[in-house]
Each structure stands twice: as C-alpha cells, then as structure tokens.
Chain A
Amino acid sequence: MTDKQLDEVLEELGREHRAIDAPDSLQRVLYAAAESRKSAIGKPRMQFPWAWAAVAFLLAVVMVAGAIWRSLQTHQPQTEQAHSLPAPKVSSGPLHSSPVTARQSVEPKAEPVREAVKARAPLRHSSPPDAPTSSSLDAFVPLPASEGLPTAAELSIVRIRLRGSDLQQYGLQTPADALAQTMLAEFAVGEDGLPRAIRIVR
C-alpha cells in the first residue's frame, strides 16, 4: 500500500469518524450541573448597567450622609472632659506604671514647703473637699530629712492625707495657722522606702 492510498483510506475513515456525535444524555447532566451553580453563586447578577449605576448612586448618598453626620458629631461642644491630675514637674527619666504609684525622677529644685503650704491655703476654702484642683500642678520640694541620702534612681509617688503638724517630722517648718489643718500631700519615695520630696496637693 502506498502513502497516497493510506491517506485516502485515512480520509475516508476520518469522514466516518467525524460523523460520530457526542451522546445527548450528557447534555442533560451538564445542563443540570451548570444550573446547580446558580444556587451556589446566589442570586443572578444584575445584567444592566443602569441598575449598577443606581446601586453606585445609593452607595454614594449613604457615604456622603455618613460624612456629614461625622462632621456634625465632631463640631458638637464637648460636654465634659475627664479631669486628670497632671503629672508632677519631673525631669526626664524612665517611667513605670503600677496600680497605685507612678515612679518618676524628682526635680531637685525646691522652694521651702512653708511657702507651698501657704500658697495652698486660699484654695482650701474655695474648692470642695475631694474635688481635684489646679493646685496639684505644683512641683515637688525636697525634704530636708532626705539630705545625705543617696540619689534614688526610681521614685514612687505616695499620696497621704496628713495634718500640718505632721510635716515637722520631715524637717519642714509649718506655719502656726496650718498646724491643725488637714492636707493632702504626695511623697516621692525612693526605692529604699525613704521619702525624698513632698508636694502639697491641697
């Protein structure tokens, strides 16, 4: 058999081959498989551009309304801000927080505590007993009793309510009219447990 004859036979066989069609039964199976995807995909997508445009417009309206509402919220007067006690005037140093105390380095600069107590005196009358006041902004003053102690690397702030007369035990001179007064004071206590400085809060 020659190549030409073989090609002719293959051509004939090809015609016969191409007359075979795929079975129709598969078409139904595939149709069902494709349709089942519809439920998996969810609702069919909108086909029309105007529908998409409407959705986009609605989204834009919602976004603009949201932005306006936010801007209105920010322009409303703030009713109340939390009053926090300002940090004592301290030099830079490592800060550590604990539930009760905050450790800080105390500024060595000091005024006599007597002056500080005097300065607090008018405030005592004008402010309610437990309300925080601006008097707490003042700096700590070193305690004379702490002279000669090694410099504390870290300090804890301890708030105590005491009488004016109690200040004398720390080497502080207290005015006579302040001896019987009760005041709120903060002590800067070193890691050795000894107080280094004091601040009269009120």
Chain B
Amino acid sequence: MFERLRRKPLESELTDEELHRSALAGRGEAIAALYKRHGGLVYRFTLRMSGNASIAEEITQEVFLALLTQIDQFDAARGSLSTWLCGIARRKLWKHLEHSKDALFDFDEHTAAELPCTNDGPAELLLRQEAVFAVRAGMDELPPLLREVVILCALEEMSYEQVARILAVPVGTVRSRLHRAKARLAGLLRTEMADTEGERR
C-alpha cells in the first residue's frame, strides 16, 4: 500500500488493459499513452488504405473514441489491443469506402519518409528508388482486399495470425491473399519496368 502511495507507475510501464481501465475512469494521460502506443499503426493503415490524410485522421480518432465508449467490446483474452483497434479501423474504413465509391488514392508523397542511405552507387540507388515508387503505385492499384493484406503483413510486419484476427478470416485466407497480391504486384512492376526501359532506349 505504502509502495503504491510512494510511487505512481508511469504510463509507459502499464499494460494496455491497465491503461484502458484508467482511460475509462477518465484519465486523459492513459488514453494519450494508448494513442502514442497504437495510434501510429491505426493511422498508417487507414492512410495507406484510403490514401487521404484527413480521412485517416478522422477514422483514427473514431477508433480511439470507440475505446472509451465500447467498454465491453474489447476482450484482452481474445487478442491484443492493437489487433482490436485495427479491426475497428478496418470496419470503419470499409464503411467509408462503400459510401465513397470514387477511390481516394492521392496519397501525399510528402508524408512518406525519404529512403534510407545505403552503400549503393547512384545508379543502383536510382533503380531502387524507381522500384519503390513503382511498388507503392502498384499497391494503390490493388483491390482493397489484397491491399490491406500487403499493408498489414508486409509493411507492418504482422504475423498471419494477427492479420487473420483483424480481417476476421482464417489464416489460410490471409496467406492466399498475400500470395495473390504479390503476384499482381510483380506483374504490375514487370510491365512498369519494361515501359521505363523502353522509354530510356
């Protein structure tokens, strides 16, 4: 008891469940800490999927507000908080995409970080940069069902199990979707590269 009185634990030391309980009790610091921990994942996912920063912000905000209102929905035994948040974000995003059929893939390139320095020469660097741009453009052309798998598995480096929980599909479905997405990307990139080669000649 006295130990508890003497030292208040930092937000970073608390688990997601503890922070969630604290946030429900009305502690602003707790929800801020949860946002710091998981906000990036939700925002990046919605940004990549919608291609629009304001939509991504709006959905991210809704997702975290849901944490305060849908008290009984999150069950720590069934999965991590990040998975749960991503699942909500996905549902909200799909609802949004259904309402606005005109796809919003004007993803702001300025929000993307610059490529890290490597020991490659200028030619290799340029080639790699072109490939990255081509893959990014190719991802935007993928159907949303395949795109979300690439974002979560390849970009966020989540496990198949985690992604399966978010998408509410079996692990096998995640694997097959990722395989199909990669095949499509490779095909798109091959044509892109062939076009670029042709232009250079």
- Which residues of A are in contact with B by a Cβ distance under 8 Å? 1-3, 5-7, 9-23, 25-27, 29-41, 44-45, 48-50
The answer to whether B60 has its CB under 8 Å from any CB of chain A is: yes
A45 touches B154 (CB 8 A): no
The answer to whether B150 has its CB under 8 Å from any CB of chain A is: yes
A17 touches B185 (CB 8 A): no
- A30, A41, A49: the one contacting B35 at CB < 8 Å is A30
Given the contacts A13-B136, A30-B35, A30-B65, A21 and B40 also touching, CB distance less than 8 Å: yes
B43 touches A20 (CB 8 A): yes
**Which residue on chain A has the smallest CB distance to residue B130?**
A9
> Within the complex, what minimum Cβ distance (angstroms) separates B35 from chain A?
5
Digitize B13-41: 1 where CB-to-A-CB distance is under 8 Å, 0 elsewhere: 00000000001111111111001100110
- Which residues of B are in contact with A by a Cβ distance under 8 Å? 1, 4-5, 23-32, 35-36, 39-40, 42-44, 47-48, 57, 60-61, 64-65, 68, 111-116, 128, 131-132, 135-136, 139, 150-151, 154-157, 182, 185-186, 189-190, 193
In the complex, the 5 A-B pairs of residues with the closest C-beta atoms, listed nearest first? A38-B26, A22-B39, A31-B28, A19-B113, A22-B43
A3 touches B186 (CB 8 A): yes
Cα distance A23–B112 when bound, in Å? 14
Cα distance A32–B47 when bound, in Å? 24
A41 proximity list for chain B (CB < 8 A): 25-26
Given the contacts A13-B135, A16-B132, A34 and B190 also touching, CB distance less than 8 Å: no
- B1, B31, B112, B193: the one contacting A30 at CB < 8 Å is B31
Cα distance A57–B139 when bound, in Å? 65
| Contacts beyond the supplied A14-B154, A20-B112, A33-B68: 18 A-B pairs with Cβ under 8 Å | A3-B182, A9-B132, A10-B135, A13-B155, A14-B155, A16-B132, A17-B156, A22-B39, A22-B42, A22-B43, A26-B64, A27-B39, A30-B32, A35-B27, A37-B68, A39-B26, A40-B26, A41-B26
Given the contacts A3-B186, A41-B25, A18 and B155 also touching, CB distance less than 8 Å: yes
- Total A-B contacts with CB atoms under 8 angstroms apart: 132
> Within the complex, what minimum Cβ distance (angstroms) separates B19 from chain A?
10
- A2, A13, A23, A44: the one contacting B26 at CB < 8 Å is A44
22 contacts between A and B (CB under 8 A): A3-B182, A6-B189, A10-B155, A13-B139, A14-B156, A14-B157, A17-B156, A18-B44, A20-B43, A25-B57, A27-B32, A30-B31, A30-B35, A30-B61, A31-B31, A33-B68, A34-B30, A34-B32, A36-B26, A37-B25, A45-B25, A50-B1
A34 touches B135 (CB 8 A): no
A36 proximity list for chain B (CB < 8 A): 26
Cα distance A199–B55 when bound, in Å? 95
A37 touches B61 (CB 8 A): no
Cα distance A49–B151 when bound, in Å? 47
Cα distance A29–B28 when bound, in Å? 10
**Which residue on chain A has the smallest CB distance to residue B39?**
A22
Cα distance A17–B158 when bound, in Å? 13
**Which residue on chain B has the smallest CB distance to residue A40?**
B26
Given the contacts A27-B39, A30-B61, A1 and B193 also touching, CB distance less than 8 Å: yes
Cα distance A37–B42 when bound, in Å? 23
